[in-house]
Structure formats: C-alpha cells, structure tokens
Structure 1
C-alpha cells in the first residue's frame, strides 16, 4: 500500500500538520457514485473504535510540550482509554491528585462535537492548533512531553542542545522508537517512507536530529523527507536572532546530512504576492500558507494507481538529487487567480480589508531577486518562495551576480481541469541522461485534477476566495546554486556565535555542504562556460 508515516515535532509543526490532516479528511467520499483520487490507506490506518465500528485515523505521531495540545484529549468519540491508576508505592496515606485547570473548547470545536454548523474561526479564537482540528487521532499518536511547558519563561524550550538532551533522556528511559514509532511501522504492508515536520531553529531541531539518528539506525534504507519550519527573521527579537540562526545551522548540519530530502520552510511577508493577505503574528495564518504548499507538493505520492502513476517519495528524491549529494530543496508556490474568482471579492477590487490592524501585514509584490533567468522556456517561476532568505547584515551587498543554475526541479500542478493525456510527467531514460550531460535542469512535472479545498478551518488569506471553494495551485521543489549562499551564511553565524570546542567541526560540515551546490557549475571557474 506504500504507507507514509508522519512525525510532528513541536507547536509550529503541529499547526502545519493540522491543516494537512484536515485537507486529507476532506478527500473521503461517502457515497457509491463518488470516488476519491486519493488512496486513504497511505496516510490513514484502519482500526476498531470503542463501539466496534471500523475507524480511520492518521498514521502520525504528535509530539508537543505540556500545555501544547490545548483542548485535544486522548479520549475521544472513537477510542476510550481508562485513566491510569494512582500508584501508592510505599506511602500508606491517601493520594492527592492535582489537576490543571481545564482549557475550555472554543465555539468551533463545540459545534463540531454537537454536529452543528461551526461559526467562522478568527485569529482570536484559534489559541492552539487543536482549536481548528477536524480529525480524530488514535490515542497512541498523542505524545506529550511533560518535562517542559509551552511558552515557559522559566525553562524556555529554545536552545538546540536542550532538545537534544531531552530526546536522549527520554530515549534512554523509554526507547522512543520502540514505544512510539515501531507499532506504526510494523503494521504497514510496504512503507513508502517517513515524513517529518519539525521546527529547526529552536530546541525541536536538536530533538529532531537525535530522532533522525535513531531512525537511521533502525530504518537505514527508508526514504525520510524532513520539512523544517523556521520563524520569519523579522518576527524574532534581535537579541535572539543569533540563537535561532545557530540552531538552524546545527539542524542543517545534522539533519540534512541524514535525510533523503530536507526542505527548510518560512514565510517572509515582503516576498508574498499582493493576493495573499496574512497576519504574521498568527500561526494559524502562517501555517495555512505553508501547508497549502506542502500538501500540494506531496499530493502525487498518495494518489490511487488506477489511471495514473503514483509518484513515490523515493521518485521525488531521485528527481531532485541528480548528483547524489544535493538534498536541500527550495519550496515555491503560485495560486491560479482565475480559479479564485468565485464571488468573495469582485474582480478588479483592491483588497484593503487587512489594513485596519497593525499586526496584519499586507503582502508586497515579490521581487525579481529569486526569479531564475536561465532556461526560461523550461524552468517555471513562482510567486512565493518559502526558502529562508539571506537576512543578516553581512549578506547585504554581497549577493552573487552570476546566473542561478537549477540542478533538479519537481513541479506539482493541481486544478479543476482535466489532465492532458499527452503531457509528459517527468524526464526519464535517455532524455534525463541527455539533459544531465548538457548541464540542463532535470525537470519532473505532475498534474492532478483535484483543486485545493478551502475548508472552514482554513484562514481567509487568499483574495477573492471563500470557504467551500477551491483553488488551482502550482508548487515546486528545486535544488539550485543559491542554496550554497544560505549555507555559507549559516557557516558565518557559526564562526561568530558557536563555542570554540565545536565551532570548527560544525563550520567545516557546512562548508562541505555548500560546495555540493557549486560543484559542476560554479566550482571556481571565472567564466560561465558550462
């Protein structure tokens, strides 16, 4: 069945994943005359609920800190578990149980439980990722880490080494793979791979790095794709920017070196097109935009085989990593505005509804800085780039004037129209070898007649859209020479902010990574003879 297991590490990642699971749940069909293009067995596992009926719950592990789950409970309408008995131990007196104050459900969740039409969500009503969740999870998917509390000022979970130490201590006590992951892996008939969604610029980066070590020990040949979530640099206080960048540098060095594919993701308000209006202070908004790109890009990996070829995670990795040592990719996206004209806003009307709040930033037209000016007839360009930009002072005025070379690019297009029968979906065989020998990009394209659904749990961040409608979306993952600039910037941060005892090894590791994105194209030659 080519199952995919998901690991969600941290609050920001759980926001992104919640949008993802809500979208997967919307693909289920409940009548004989409807058939979904999506194979639900890839991301959902069958089970038997408390009432004896068959259930489907996500193949996922959700890690978060104490207080991070909001109103989500292990006990739900599908599964019931008994409260653990209080062990008296050597104490002969009565046990006293202290409970935290229960977080009250918002009106949206209350309406879902009562089977009523839910009210619209707002940035004020979404306090946790569970506030807009529409999916039931199996109790063993919920893993709360009680050692740290969400948003704690006394013990903040923000340094990379803190996450590393937490994983090591938990793994030593419980063997986390055996306790949490192994049951999901063993029930899969033929596991396609593992996708990890994790923060990489805080302590979750250290937690994810050590988790990757254990996964590689147990599942060495399994395809593992890591989606690394970073905060926008402008949203981080200046005094903490070096900490965040140092965390990101460690994550790139230790996670990317073991992952099959590593995709850093962030949203920069200055690099968004005018049809996107987003509140950068709302994780609900930011994660919705990232999830739309992630969900569209990975859609081909969960399609039914009948009538079209499923593009597995392994095929995606092979299409991008053409030289065998390049596995860090850029995520991009564009929205088809023709399909967005559905009556929410009149065509030609300027979108000014977001200008009344200071925290809600109106996006600006994307600069031409990231537009690829080579092979224009073949390599597509996109409106939004989610790759972390060069942002610190030492990067200003030092941008390369050389052309960007694309090594490999995979594109995913979804729309309501039919897929042309004669359109090639990927470069294969002789054509792939010819393009590689000529130094041309290896391009893989896929089209799916399934537009992106705008659910009532999704924020109104796209102009001229409304809940219940759908969008045509284009996304791409690409590996090009500009990735080296980002890695070199992280290397510069390491030389300034990391202790002497580990600075040299980390800087050398990043330096070797950066060279891989120049080799064969910009390996020291003065002229662009390639």
Structure 2
C-alpha cells in the first residue's frame, strides 16, 4: 500500500474537501452495510491509502482521514478544531504573546448545529426519541449551509484541523496574493502547520504523494505557496498533485480599474508561484458552472459554494480512484478495478512527456452516459478548467481517463471489459487522437450521501440512468431520489490550456513588468521586486513554449 496525505488550504478548498470526504465515508458505510448494493461491497479500493487507524485515550479504535486542513479562525462552525473523537484538553493556547500594547478580543456565540449535524449526534447516541426526517435535513441544508462543516459527516483527527490565528472568517481584505504573503511564516504558524503534516507523513510506510487542494482566489494562495515550498524542501522526492480551485464568488467583475489590475496580477503571480512547487497543477472552477456544458444534467445555483464544490469534489474523487485500486493478482479471482496508478505515475504520464508541461485540464461527465455509442462517453466530457480553448487538434495531447460505475445500454452495470472495449473503440474512431492515454475503470459508482446537494435534473434516475421522460415533482433531485451515479473524469495535457497560460503571462508583463506598467507600485507593495516578477514571467514563458514552441510567450489579452 502507498499512502496519500491530503491537504486543504482556504475556504472553498475545504468546501470541496468536505464533499470529497463524505464520498469516502459513504463508501465505507456501504461496504459494511449488509443491505447495500453488492457493487459497494466488492470495490477493490484500499481506503487505507487515504485513512489512518488510531486509538483514543479510552481505547476506542478510530479511522480518520490522513488530512491537514487550513482555514480562517471561526471557519469550523459548530465543530471543534480538536475533532469529536479524542476530546483532549484544548484549553492551552498555542499563541505566543509578545505584544505589550492594546489587544482586541474577537468573540462569537457558539454556532448552533443544523438539523443534519443534530441527526448525526442522535445517531451516535442511539437516540430514536426525536427522529429527524431526511427530507427536512435535505431542505435545511439547501437553505442554511454557511460553512463546510455544516454538511460534513466525517470524524477528523485532532491534528487535522488548523485555524489560522489572527485571520477571522469574513476577512474582507484577504483577497490578493500580497496580503497573504507572510501568513504562513508569521509567528509560529508555519512550524505548527508543518508539524501537523509531519505527524501524518511519519506514520506512512510508503508515501506515494500529496493531494493538495488550495483556494487560490485570495491570500490563501500565498500561504499555500509557502507551505508548498516547505514541502518541496523537506520531501523533495515526493510528488504533489495540486488542484487550484475557485469558488463562485471569486469571479465577480471588478468594480474599478484598480481592482481589475489587482485581480489580473493576483492570478498571474498566484499561478506562477503555486506551479513552481508542485509536479502537476490543475486549475478548477468555472465563472458560471450553471451555464457550462458540464451542467447539462445538473441544476446548479452558482452563488452557492455548497453546490459548485460538490461537482468539483466528484471529479477529484473519480481522478483519485486509480491511486487506491488494489493491484490485480494472478489468482484468477474476479477484479472490480483496472488501470491502477499512483500519483507519480499520473504525473509522469501527463507532465513527464517531452513537453514537460505541468498544467492539466480537468474534464467531467456527471453523470456519465450509458455505453450506447462509441462517442457518447468521450463526447460527454466537459471542462471544469476555465479560460481554455475548445475543439483544439493537438496530436501531442496526453490524457488520463477514469470511468466508474458505468451503465450498459440496457441500464445494467457494464463489466470492466465492456467499458474498456467501448472506450478504446471510441479513441480509435476519433478524428484527432491524443498521443497517448491511460484508462482506469472501476465497477463502483459514485455514492450520493445524504448531505449531497439537490443538483440533479429530474431526467436523472435512482442509479444515475437517464430517464426517458422527466420524473414528477421537483425539477432538482438530491440524495433521496438519486442514490449513485456513473462517473467519468479526465485530466489532459493539451495545447487547449494555452489561453489560460498566455493570459497570465501577458497580464504579468503588461501590468507589472513593462516600463510604465499600471501595477508596478501594487506588486511592489506586495513585496515583489522587478527581478522576482521577471523570474515568474520566465517560468510562465517556459510553460507556454513547452506547449507551443512557435509562441513568443506573450499575450495582450485582458
């Protein structure tokens, strides 16, 4: 077994992570449920890759994510930063007070638990006197989710949840790279966060890599970059797969020219710095997910992070499946997975080719269509990465595709061989085929846990099948109506990402580096000298040139 340590930094990254861990918890519960569908009992997925076993001081065995989560103070809602399993004394503060001047105190009333969290407490206490109805829980979550812990059904280890002291939820000005630049190194934060990571790493026998998700829309991008640099120095041979995610609120149009310049420079600096310390970076987050082709079968409310993060988490779950697939032995036993690959294998597949490209595009089909035609599945994959080109013919493209829980033409669960045959045939018939591709297949579909949002259109059936006519009732369906769905998700290295890269390179040069650039003073206030910006520009230019040798590595796009 090769373990993964997961890291989530920033608000929206933790929204995505909350859904991701809910999927894992649901899989664990279904595997142990004697009444569950057999497809969830024969998963051939090793959950120890993501989870650790432990024991409390009272001798109770625990099974918790191997996770470090970083967010604002106050971001945990009603959840304790110590989790709920160990209940150790947390009265001692880790803050070191050296300031002799006036001190302001921030205090807030304890958050009241919503119906979902109340139901979890009652379930653990075996209290059936006040039974809360699932429908009321689902309705409550649609209206009342304020933070990512509001819909989390997972127990966390005391070392997992880190609230950044001095940075409070609702910090309106924590919106650019410059303001977050010293957030990691200030005080003891960096050492405290790194020590939590070290705690999980030292437990691993064969660490395969880090799965790192960062909300890169504001100051947490700078904190993550410093954290990544620390990881690169301490674990230099361990690959980092980085998802830079953007929530719906980060795509609002700037109110002034100054804000527009700041936003453009933040995007350029953030991407350049983050990509410098990982093996593969995947930008995720569309300005309007509801209007995208990826939402053809979904009812997304763009203003709700609870909605958008569920889609992105679903894709990350699918992409991560090969990292924990059990290797098929030679015993002749039936296997329910195919195409196992670790993080390093994925990185080498997508970023280790001759072009040495480090940025990948994420595509998803949610739910994936039945295997009725050779092109249906591949044609249904739609990008979740913003600002990319469509219909690009790239003969050097490299792809890694995961399909799981696929349905056959008659609504039955397709076998691994059926999926592989259909997908390979589809690639053979493509007019423009990628240079190479890797396929991973699993029988287990994506389970839909109770706190999953009601985002499926009423064309989607109980097992994710497409209905001949819309079902009656609400136009949006959730976990009470849809129990699982087939999924397909893909990462690809392609020239389609050139507009994304060229925009950031062009804005960095035009707004921050060139003589008379309008953002010169701004980036200087962020702590960057001109030579540092030029180094960033050179990095971005090399990424562009790796995909397009004919490019001059410049762009005037806004």
**1:481 and 2:498 matched:** no
Task: Give the secondary-structure state (helix, strand or coil) at the position aligned to 1:102.
Answer: coil
SS in 2 for 1:104: coil
Q: Distance in 1 between matches of 2:342 and 2:240?
A: 12
Judging changes above 3 Å, is the alpha-carbon distance between structure 1 residues 27 and 89 closer, same or farther for their aligned structure 2 residues? closer
Aligned to 2:401: 411
Q: Is residue 490 of structure 1 aligned with residue 504 of structure 2?
A: yes
Deviations 1:484-516 (A, max 9, x none): 221111122223433444343333332222111
Paired residues for 1:117-266 under 5 Å: 117=132, 118=134, 119-120=137-138, 121-153=140-172, 156-170=173-187, 175-176=191-192, 178-232=194-248, 234-239=251-256, 240-266=259-285
- Once the two structures are TM-superposed, the CA of residue 421 in structure 1 deviates from its matched residue by 7.6
Structure 2: distance between partners of 1:245 and 1:72: 36
**Cα–Cα, structure 1 residues 182 and 254, in superposed 2: closer, same or farther, change >3 Å?**
same
3-state DSSP of counterpart to 2:8: strand
Q: Does 1:8 align with 2:2?
A: no
CA distance in structure 1 between the partners assigned to 2:488 and 2:390 by the alignment: 28
* Correspondence for 1:370: none
How many angstroms apart in 2 are the aligned matches of 1:305 and 1:66?
A: 42
* Cα pair 1:106 1:131 within 8 Å, conserved: yes
d(CA) in 2 for partners of 1:440, 1:44: 35
Asked whether 1:504 is paired with 2:534, we answer yes
Paired residues for 1:60-459 under 5 Å:
60-85=67-92, 99-115=107-123, 116-117=131-132, 118=134, 119-120=137-138, 121-153=140-172, 156-170=173-187, 175-176=191-192, 178-232=194-248, 234-239=251-256, 240-267=259-286, 268-269=288-289, 270-272=291-293, 273-306=295-328, 307=335, 308=338, 310-321=340-351, 322-323=353-354, 325-336=356-367, 380-389=378-387, 403-415=393-405, 416-420=413-417, 423=420, 440-459=434-453
Q: Per-residue deviation at 1:237?
A: 3.8
Give me the whole-angstrom Cα distance separating, in 1, the residues matched to 2:393 and 2:370.
33
Q: Which structure 1 segments of 5+ residues have no match? A: 91-95, 341-375, 391-398, 428-437, 525-530
Task: Give yes or no for contact 1:205–1:247 (8 Å, CA) kept in 2.
Answer: no
The 10-residue stretch of structure 1 (480-489 or 380-389) with the greater mean CA deviation from structure 2: 380-389
How far, CA to CA, are the matches of 2:488 and 2:49 in structure 1?
23
For each residue in 1:417-462, what CA deviation from the matched residue of structure 2 results, as whole angstroms up to 9, or x when unmatched? 32118948999xxxxxxxxxx9952111111101111111111212
The residue number in structure 1 matching 2:127 is: none
Partner in structure 1 of residue 60 of structure 2: 53
Q: Is the 8 A contact 1:37 1:304 kept in 2?
A: yes
Q: Could you give the per-residue CA deviations for residues 443-484 of structure 1, whole angstroms, max 9, x where no partner exists?
A: 111111011111111112121344151111111100111222
Deviations 1:74-94 (A, max 9, x none): 35542111132589999xxxx
How many equivalent pairs are there?
A: 461
Using the alignment, how far apart are the partners of 2:321 and 2:447 within structure 1? 13
Name the structure 2 match of 1:353.
Answer: none
1:309, distance to aligned residue in structure 2 (A): 5.3
Q: How far apart are the structure 2 equivalents of 1:133 and 1:7?
A: 16
Q: Secondary structure at the match of 1:486?
A: helix
SS of 1:122's equivalent in the other structure is: helix
Superposed CA deviations along residues 351-389 of structure 1, whole A, max 9, x for unmatched, are xxxxxxxxxxxxxxxxxxxxxxxxx98993444211111
Q: Report if aligned partners of 1:424, 1:445 keep a CA contact under 8 Å in 2.
A: no
**CA shift in 2, pair 1:330/1:174, >3 Å:** closer
1:67 shift after superposition:
1.4
Q: Please tell me whether the aligned partners of residues 39 and 303 of structure 1 are also in contact (alpha carbons under 8 angstroms).
A: yes
Per the alignment, do residues 382 and 514 of structure 1 end up closer, same or farther by CA in structure 2, a change over 3 Å counting? farther
CA spacing shift, 1:379–1:484, aligned 2, 3 Å = farther
Structure 2 unmatched runs, 5+: 99-103, 124-130, 329-334, 406-412, 425-431, 461-477, 513-518, 521-528, 553-558
- Could you say what secondary structure the match of 2:457 adopts? coil
Distance (Å, rounded) in 2 between the aligned partners of 1:261 and 1:127:
31
On the 8 A contact 1:301/1:311 being kept in 2, the answer is yes
Deviation at 1:21, TM superposition (A): 0.3
1:21 aligns with 2:21: yes
SS in 1 for 2:356: coil
User: Structure 2 vs 1, CA of residues 71 and 88 (structure 1 numbering), >3 Å: closer, same or farther?
Assistant: closer
Range 134-143 or range 302-311, more displaced:
302-311
| TM value normalised by structure 1 | 0.79
Deviates more, 1:41-50 or 1:493-502: 493-502
Give distance in 2, aligned partners of 1:139 and 1:513: 40
4+ runs deviating over 6 angstroms: 86-90, 376-379, 399-402, 424-427
Q: What displacement does 1:178 show?
A: 4.6
Root mean square deviation of aligned Cα: 3.3
Match of 2:32 in 1: 30
Asked if 1 retains the 8 angstrom alpha-carbon contact of 2:397 and 2:494, the reply is yes
How far apart, CA to CA, are the structure 2 residues paired with 1:312 and 1:42?
Answer: 10
Are the aligned partners of 1:331 and 1:385 in contact in 2 as well (CA < 8 Å)?
A: yes
Q: TM-score, normalised by structure 2?
A: 0.75
| Distance 1:512-1:75 versus aligned 2 partners, 3 A rule | closer
The equivalent of 1:372 in structure 2 is none
